[in-house]
Amino acid sequence: AQSVTQLGSHVSVSEGALVLLRCNYSSSVPPYLFWYVQYPNQGLQLLLKYTTGATLVKGINGFEAEFKKSETSFHLTKPSAHMSDAAEYFCAVGSGGSNYKLTFGKGTLLTVNP
């Protein structure tokens, strides 16, 4: 079984400040990890993903995430928030093999204050 916990259903930052969205996972097999972003009344857009290899993953719009196996974490960061970053962010974990399934966290709503 696998699960995802996103700490903080709502995060508020000032424009230009660091963005840190937390994600912890549990998985019985080596995980695939994803961050998606959702703008109001729209579908999900892939920000970045980790499958194998380098543990620091760079995505679109200046976001990056680091896979830390010892901490079972995959936190999302951006050095400087922009107003356009305001959206809901979802962390997801998948596993390889024929029983592949993607499990999503409950989401973190990011607001950016001017």
Partner 1 sequence: DGGITQSPKYLFRKEGQNVTLSCEQNLNHDAMYWYRQDPGQGLRLIYYSQIVNDFQKGDIAEGYSVSREKKESFPLTVTSAQKNPTAFYLCASSPRLEETQYFGPGTRLLVL
Contacts with partner 1, residue ranges (CB under 8 A): 9, 32, 34, 36, 41-46, 49, 90, 94, 96-98, 100-102, 104-107
Q: How far is the CB of 93 from partner 1 (least distance, A)?
A: 12
Task: Compute the least distance from the CB of residue 41 to partner 1, in Å.
Answer: 7
Please, which residue, 60 or 102, has the CB nearer to partner 1?
A: 102
CB-nearer residue toward partner 1: 7 or 32: 32
Instruction: Pull the structure tokens for residue 46.
Output: 């892939």
- Give least dist CB 114 to partner 1, A: 26
107 phi, psi to nearest 5 deg? 95, 150
Q: List CB contacts of 99: < 8 A, sequence separation 6 or more.
A: none
Residues β-bridged to residue 94: 32, 102
Residue 41 or 84 having the CB closest to partner 1: 41
Closest CB 54 distance from partner 1, rounded Å: 17
Q: Which helix (H) or strand (E) holds 34?
A: strand 31-38
The C-alpha atoms of residue 39 and residue 45 are separated, in whole angstroms, by: 9
Comparing CB distances to partner 1, the nearer of 17 and 32 is: 32
Which residue, chain included where needed, has tokens 């857009």?
45
